[in-house]
Structure formats: structure tokens, C-alpha cells
Amino acid sequence: MPNFPNLIHFAIPFFVLSILLEVYLSTKGKEVKYTLKDALSSISMGLGNVFLGFISKGIVLFVFFLIYDNFRIFTIPISWWSFTLLLFLDDFSYYWFHRISHKCRLFWASHVVHHSSQHYNLSTALRQTWSGGFYTFIFWLWLPLLGFHPAMILLQMSISLIYQFWIHTEAIKKMPKWFESVFNTPSHHRVHHGSNPIYLDRNHAGIFIIWDKLFGTFQPELESEKVNYGLTENINTFNPIFIAFHEWVALFKDVFTSKTTLLNRIKYFLKPPGWKWDGTGKSSDQLREEWLNSKL
Ligand SMILES: [Zn+2]
Ligand SMILES: [Zn+2]
């Protein structure tokens, strides 16, 4: 078995240096904002994610190998062409993982962590889930089934995560036009972190923005609409444990304390965030519709 290192561990010094550089820019009055508590809580979420990754990555590898060893359809060699193909297939999986993470509360419960900061800087990139690593890999299961070696897939997943680090900044306004049209960029991803109705559940891209354009979820950043970072209902805490699990607690509270049918309780896992069985909640689609109607 080829032994690919976990690139994320090697990238940590680069993350630290870039954050220090961005903090320096913020002291020089550039359009970059940091607050200590927010950055520290993002960094703790990142560290927790890396430590829990030692366990979750083991589970992911175990399941990937189970499929690869017993059920793979082809045996895809490890070469430049298969890595090129995997770059796109992994990014396609990432798009759907991310889009569904915003539309299904079972996945939102872990992904919400990444959106819980009201700031947007390189430290926000490190604000990563503590629970997602244990089950969101199901969106990638078709790759070992096709015949991609598990180590290759894990390597590509880390490359994608590292790519997404630099786009968490306000220091870069726009990249060249050709780059903005193909790749995910700071401008596209600022939109993704916006709680403005027009920006909700848009730009789910990993590396390539093409998937959002193809599947109808692309929204360019508008000069007239400044991004309000964070959630539609912010959690106002810097406590890492609370950030990591608050939505799980809220989800199970809804499931177990709602006085409704079993089917409605199950729906809490599958329906979008904001959905309530009695119709009193509001999903992002409803919030956007209300906003659009108010503009008429
Ligand atoms: Zn997201
Ligand atoms: Zn992000």
C-alpha cells in the first residue's frame, strides 16, 4: 500500500505564518478584521478537528478499504491521469457533500460549525467540525467502489481542504477574471459565508466554482450587497465545546420534545435547517423568498 502522508499536518506551519501575516495587515489598517476571542475559538476548533481526525481518518480508511478490497469495479492505477481524474471526481463529491450539508439537518448539525463565526479571515478556515469526519465520508464511497485507491482519495481530500484555506480572506478582493470563472475564490466563498438572504446556500464549491454554475447555486458577490458573515441566528459564544455540539443538542431536542408523529420527528433529521413540523420555522429558501417579496 502506498504511504501518502497527511498533508494537512505539513500545512499547519504555513497556516500559522499566513494568519500572522494577515493579523499584521489588520494592524496596518487594511480591510482585514481580527478579534482575539474569535480567532482563538476558530483555532481551537481546528486543533480539535486535527486530533479527532486521528480517529475518524482511521474509520474512513477502514471503510474505504473494505469497499476497495471487496467490491471495486476497476483497478485504477496510481498515475498522473488518475490523479487528474480524481481531482474532478473528488471536487464533484465535495460539492454535493457541501450542498446537502446545507439542506439536510443531519449534516448541517456538523457543518454549522464552519459558519458560526461572524468574522471572515484566514482563522475562519480553521473553524472545522468535530463530528463531521465520522460520517460525511459517505459522499466519497463511490470512489473506492470505482477503484480509486483509498490513500489517493484521502490525499486528494486533504489537497482540497488546503486549497480552501486561502479563500477565507477579505484581503483579496477579486482574482483575475479567468480565475474567478473557473476556481473557487475569496470573493465566491465570502458569499458562501454570508447570512444575507441573497447569499444563503450559494457557492458550495471546493476547488472549482464550475459545479455551482452547472447546478444552479452560483451567486457572484455584489458591490451593492455587503456580506454579513455568520448564521441567520448567531450563537454568540466562543466556547469550542458549545460551537461543536450546539446544533446536535438543538436537533435532538426537536426530535424528542416535539409533540408530534414519529414521521415528523424523523423529518427533523432530513429536512433543511429551520424546518419545524408545525410550520413555524423558516428555511433559507423561505427567508430568500420573503426578502425578494419585500424588494418588490
Ligand atoms: Zn458551508
Ligand atoms: Zn468556508
Distance from the alpha carbon of residue 22 to the mean position of ligand 1, in angstroms = 23
CA distance 8 to 15: 10
| C-alpha distance from residue 116 to each of 16, 167, 232, 277 (Å) | 21, 17, 10, 25
Tell me the whole-structure pTM to 2 decimals: 0.95
Length of the chain: 296
Q: Which ligand has the minimum distance to the alpha carbon of residue 101?
A: 1
Residue 121 Cα, ligand 2 centroid: separation in angstroms?
10
Ligand nearest to the CA of 161: 2
Cα 266-269-274 angle, rounded to 5 deg: 115
Q: Distance from the CA of 124 to the center of ligand 2, in angstroms?
A: 7
Query: Ligand 2 centroid to 278 CA: how many Å?
Result: 32
Inter-residue contact 123 to 39 (CB < 8 Å): yes
Question: In this structure, are residues 129 and 49 in contact, taking their beta carbons and an 8 Å threshold?
Answer: yes
3-state helix/strand/coil string of 157-220: HHHHHHHCCCCCCCCCCCCCHHHHHHECCHHHHHHHCECCHHHCCCCCCCCECHHHHHHCCCCC
Residue 115 Cα to ligand 1 middle (Å):
7
Rounded to the nearest angstrom, the distance between the alpha carbon of 256 and the centre of ligand 2 is 31
Would you call 224 helix, strand, or coil by DSSP? coil
- Give the closest ligand to the alpha carbon of residue 125: 2
What is the structure's pLDDT at 160?
97
Beta-carbon contacts of residue 266 (< 8 Å; ≥ 6 apart): none
Q: Distance from the CA of 206 to the center of ligand 2, in angstroms?
A: 9
Ligand nearest 102 Cα, by number?
Answer: 1
Rounded to the nearest angstrom, the distance between the alpha carbon of 102 and the centre of ligand 1 is: 6
Question: Roughly what angle, to the nearest 10 degrees, separates helices 150-163 and 7-27?
Answer: 0
User: Cα torsion for 153, 129, 59, 253, to the nearest 10°?
Assistant: -140
**Dist. CA 203 → ligand 1 center (Å):** 8
Report how far ligand 2's centroid is from the alpha carbon of 150 (Å).
25
Distance 168 CA to ligand 2 centre (A): 6
List average pLDDT for each run of 10 residues in the chain, which is 296 residues long. 72 92 85 89 96 96 98 97 98 98 98 97 97 98 98 96 96 97 98 97 98 98 97 95 98 96 97 95 93 87
- pLDDT of amino acid 3: 63
Write the CA distances from 15 to 136, 161, 163, integer angstroms: 24, 12, 11
Which ligand is nearest the CA of 97, by number?
A: 1
Dist. CA 252 → ligand 1 center (Å): 21
- Distance of alpha carbon 211 from alpha carbon 215, whole angstroms: 6
Q: Which residues pair with 229 in a beta bridge?
A: 194
123 CA → ligand 2 middle, Å? 10
Q: What is the residue type of 274?
A: G
Short-list 131, 121, 115, 126, CA closest to 233: 115
User: 151: CA distance to ligand 2 center in Å?
Assistant: 25
